[in-house]
Amino acid sequence: MLERKTLSNDLVKLISLIKEDFEWLYAAASDPEIWEQHPDNMRYTPLGFTKYFQKLLQNDIAYLIVDNETERVIGGTSFYDYNADQKSVAIGYTFLAKNYWGGKYNQSIKQLMMNFAFETLDEVFFHVRKGNLRSQKALEKINAQFVREYPAPDHSGIQLVYSIKK
C-alpha cells in the first residue's frame, strides 16, 4: 500500500481527504459542466455528489486538490486498485474546477502522483469512459498509452484503460 501523505509541488497540494471535507469539495464540484461527459452527470447535485464523495473516501488514498496560490480547493483525485503483486495502482476519480481546465494543473497533478507511485511501483493505470473525450485527451497529453476496453461493471458504457510504466 502507498503511504498516506500530503503531496505538493509549485502549483498544488494534495491533502488526504476526510469526511469533514465534503462542503469544501462540493463547492468545487457543483458546476454541471464538470460532469457533462461522465455517466453520472448529476454529480453536481448534492445527492449525486454524495455518492461520488462516498466512493472517493472508499478508495485507497483520496485527496483534496488545493491551489497553492489561492489556498482554495479546486478538485479531488485518488489512488485506487492498488495491486502489490503487479506493483501497480490506478489514479482517477479526478475532477478539477472549470477554471483549471486545459492548462498545466492536470498534468502537474498527475505527474506529482505518478512520481510518488513510481517510488515503489512499476505501473499506473487510468480508467475513463469511452464518451469522456476531455479526459481521454488529458491522458494523451501525459503520454498515457491505451491498453484495452471493457464493459463498465455498472453497465453504463465502455470503460477504457490507459497505462504509464515506470
> For residues 93 and 59, what is the distance between their CA atoms, to the nearest angstrom?
9
Tens of each residue's pLDDT in the chain, 166 residues? 789 999 999 999 999 999 999 999 999 999 999 988 877 878 899 999 999 999 999 999 999 999 999 999 999 999 999 999 999 999 999 999 999 998 899 999 999 999 999 999 999 999 998 888 888 988 998 999 999 999 987 777 899 999 999 9
Residue 82 in domain? yes
135: buried, middle or exposed (CB in 10 Å: 19+, 13-18, 0-12)?
A: buried
> For residues 73 and 96, what is the distance between their CA atoms, to the nearest angstrom?
9
> For residues 53 and 44, what is the distance between their CA atoms, to the nearest angstrom?
11
How much is the pLDDT for 87?
97
> Which CATH number fits the domain that encloses residue 40?
3.40.630.30
From residue 11, alpha-carbon distances to 19, 54, 110, 120, 159 in Å are 24, 27, 12, 24, 30
Residue ranges making up the domain that contains 28: 7-123
Residue 2 in domain? no
| Domain tally, the chain | 1
DSSP H helical ranges for the chain: 22-29, 32-35, 46-58, 104-117, 133-141
Whole-prediction pTM: 0.91
Query: Of 35, 92, 104, nearest to 68 (Cα)?
Result: 104
The answer to whether 11 touches 4, Cβ cutoff 8 Å, is: no
> For residues 148 and 163, what is the distance between their CA atoms, to the nearest angstrom?
10
How much is the pLDDT for 75?
97
Residue 52 in domain? yes
Q: Sheet harboring 12-16: ordered strands across? A: 7-8, 12-16, 61-67, 73-83, 88-96, 123-129, 158-165, 145-151
Residue 55 in domain? yes
> For residues 47 and 45, what is the distance between their CA atoms, to the nearest angstrom?
6
Residue 149 in domain? no
